[in-house]
Structure 1
Amino acid sequence: MEKKNIRKKVIKQLNELDVEQKEKQAEVIIKTLFQTSEWSNAKTIAVTMSQDLELDTQVIIEKAWSENKVVVIPRAKKDRKMDFVVYTKDTPIEISSFGLREPIPDLLAISKSEIELIVVPGLAYCESGFRIGFGGGYYDRFLADYKGKTISLVLNEQKINSFKVDSFDIQIDFLITTEKIINTKK
Structure 2
Amino acid sequence: MNKKDLRQKQISRLQDFAATEQKEQEDRQLLEKIMAWDGLKSSQTIGVTSSLAYEVDTSRLIALLWDQGKDVYLAKANNNPEHSQDFLYYSYMTKLTASKFGVMEVNDPSAKINNDLDLIIVPGLAFAEDTHQRLGFGGGYYDRFLAKHKQAKTVALANSQMIFNTTEWNVEQTDIPIQTLITSNLV
Give runs of aligned pairs for residues 72-151 of structure 1, distance below 5 A: 72-77=73-78, 78=80, 79-104=82-107, 106-113=109-116, 115-127=117-129, 128-146=131-149, 147-151=151-155
TM-score (norm 1): 0.91
Give runs of aligned pairs for residues 35-74 of structure 1, distance below 5 A: 35-74=36-75
- For the aligned residue pairs, the C-alpha RMSD in angstroms reads 1.6
Query: In the TM superposition, what is the alpha-carbon distance from 1:179 to its structure 2 partner?
Result: 3.4
Number of equivalenced pairs: 180
Query: What residue number does 2:163 align with?
Result: 159
Q: Is the 8 A contact 2:89 2:114 kept in 1?
A: no
Q: Is the 8 A contact 1:83 1:109 kept in 2?
A: no
SS in 1 for 2:76: strand
Q: Is the 8 A contact 2:73 2:114 kept in 1?
A: no
Query: In the TM superposition, what is the alpha-carbon distance from 1:9 to its structure 2 partner?
Result: 1.5
Q: Is the 8 A contact 1:85 1:107 kept in 2?
A: no
Query: In the TM superposition, what is the alpha-carbon distance from 1:123 to its structure 2 partner?
Result: 0.3
* d(CA) in 1 for partners of 2:127, 2:15: 17
93-102 or 120-129: which moved more?
93-102
Among candidates 172, 176, 185, match of residue 179 of structure 1: 185
Identity of aligned residues (%): 36
SS in 2 for 1:39: helix
Q: Is the 8 A contact 2:77 2:86 kept in 1?
A: yes
Q: Moved runs in structure 1, 4+ residues, more than 6 A?
A: none
Q: 5+ unaligned residues in a row in structure 1: which ranges?
A: 181-186
* d(CA) in 1 for partners of 2:25, 2:35: 16
Query: In the TM superposition, what is the alpha-carbon distance from 1:86 to its structure 2 partner?
Result: 0.6
Q: 5+ unaligned residues in a row in structure 2: which ranges?
A: none
* d(CA) in 2 for partners of 1:28, 1:98: 27
Q: Is the 8 A contact 1:152 1:174 kept in 2?
A: yes
Query: In the TM superposition, what is the alpha-carbon distance from 1:107 to its structure 2 partner?
Result: 2.7
Q: Is the 8 A contact 2:74 2:88 kept in 1?
A: yes
Query: In the TM superposition, what is the alpha-carbon distance from 1:110 to its structure 2 partner?
Result: 2.4
